[in-house]
Amino acid sequence: MPRTPLLDQGAVEALAARLFGRARATVTAVATPGMETQAYRVTDDRLAGCLRIGAGPGGFRKDAWAHDTFGSVVPVPAVRELGVLPDGAAYCLTDWVDGVTLQDLPAAEARRVTPLVFDAWSRLQTAAIEATTGYGELDPATMTAPYRTPRDRLRSELDSARRWPAHWVEARRPAVTSVLEHVQSLIDCCPDQRAFVHGDWGCNNLLVDDGRVAAVLDWATAGVDDPIRDVAGRFWAFWPAVSACVTALADHADRRLGDLPAYRDRVLCHDLRTGISEITDCHADGDLDFADRCLARCLELIEDHGRVTR
């Protein structure tokens, strides 16, 4: 969901001028549904860049790591400068890449480029995986992730659900119980396979230009996990802003990966995990209406899974 802006226009323009080394640079806001950072196109008579403002530098450091790790196999914009402002907000300046986000394409075009998007995802599996340990979000400085197995990571999501406000849970007890019990029953379906995952694949993190994947953005949640996690994206098919591209990617993944062991169970497990994570964030943000929508979506996924597997 979109977050409250961190800097006003004047502060952004001053930062852009400093980074470009010019008294003045042209700054144009870039916005698309689901963005959690502020983003701007910054230009002068010589250069064009993308300036992003976020709550902390960790995700931007992951972008620099991703360019070094995956830049030879998928298009990851180079990070030119990053830092932290006196008020604590972080900034990152990358090369500008022309293109349209996958979620902003017409539905027919999204379906047409989906095989290329899937191919880009498949190229993330590089020899660099051998330098990593653990499962979950990766610390690029140490190449370690916090969980011993993928099942440990999934159980941590269940632990976060047990901290949901008691009054909210009690009013929705049958639905909450169904979701948590389904995740618990599916955890053992997820293999110990170690693969790189982007963590937020598709939608507003892929730029398409002239029928090709032009850039893969926002590597903040990249890590090591069951690779199905990246293509198990049905959870978001209920949200109009991204429904067309999410459905296209999910359908293509079904065709390409549907014969993998326990594929449907793994997809449901990861989609419910997304739902649990979103509900947790909604409680932190006080957005109880969206928490209810996310819970309802989880129940829809469980029902759909039951129909397909019967």
Taking the C-alpha atoms of residue 123 and residue 252, their distance in angstroms, rounded to an integer, is 16
Amino acid at 170: E
Q: What is the mean pLDDT of residues 111-136?
A: 95
Residue 107 belongs to what H/E stretch? helix 107-122
pLDDT over 50 at 1, yes or no: no
CATH of the domain at 112: 3.90.1200.10
Per the structure, the count of domains in the chain is 2
Whether 39 and 121 share a structural domain: no
Whether 74 and 171 share a structural domain: no
Q: What is the pTM of this model?
A: 0.92
Whether 125 and 111 share a structural domain: yes
Residue 4 lies in a domain: no
Whether 184 and 300 share a structural domain: yes
Q: Token pair of 172, please?
A: 């929705």
Strands (E), 19-150: 26-30, 38-43, 48-54, 79-84, 90-95, 100-101, 136-137
- Domain finish residue from 59, 80, 96: 96
Residue 275 lies in a domain: yes
What pLDDT was estimated at residue 306?
Answer: 87
Whether 130 and 197 share a structural domain: yes
Whether 110 and 231 share a structural domain: yes
Residue 112 belongs to what H/E stretch? helix 107-122
pLDDT in tens, 48-60: 999 999 988 999 9
Residue 2 lies in a domain: no
Whether 124 and 182 share a structural domain: yes
Whether 169 and 31 share a structural domain: no
Round the average pLDDT of the chain to a whole number and report it: 92
Taking the C-alpha atoms of residue 220 and residue 277, their distance in angstroms, rounded to an integer, is 16
Integer angstrom CA distances of residue 212 from 100, 103, 114:
11, 14, 10
pLDDT over 80 at 23, yes or no: no
Whether 141 and 49 share a structural domain: no
- Domain finish residue from 96, 111, 145: 96
**Please, which residues bridge with residue 147 across strands?**
135
pLDDT in tens, 68-110: 999 999 999 999 999 999 988 999 999 999 999 999 999 999 9
**Please, which residues bridge with residue 225 across strands?**
195
Residue 69 lies in a domain: yes
Instruction: Report the C-alpha dihedral over residues 118, 207, 213, 201, rounded to 10 degrees.
Output: -20
Contact 190, 269 (CB under 8 A): yes
Whether 120 and 75 share a structural domain: no
Residue 1 lies in a domain: no
Scan for tokens 């949901």, then name that residue: 164
Domain residues for the domain of 51 are 9-96
Taking the C-alpha atoms of residue 270 and residue 232, their distance in angstroms, rounded to an integer, is 6
Taking the C-alpha atoms of residue 99 and residue 213, their distance in angstroms, rounded to an integer, is 9
Taking the C-alpha atoms of residue 32 and residue 101, their distance in angstroms, rounded to an integer, is 8
What pLDDT was estimated at residue 47?
Answer: 85
Whether 129 and 194 share a structural domain: yes
pLDDT over 70 at 34, yes or no: no
* Number of other residues whose CB lies within 10 A of the CB of residue 68: 13
Q: How confident is the model at residue 37 (pLDDT cuts 50, 70, 90)?
A: confident
What pLDDT was estimated at residue 151?
Answer: 92
Amino acid at 66: A
Q: Which string of DSSP letters, residue by residue, matches 237-272? A: GGSTTTHHHHHHHHHHHHHHHTTSTTHHHHHHHHHH
Taking the C-alpha atoms of residue 146 and residue 133, their distance in angstroms, rounded to an integer, is 9
Contact 27, 38 (CB under 8 A): no
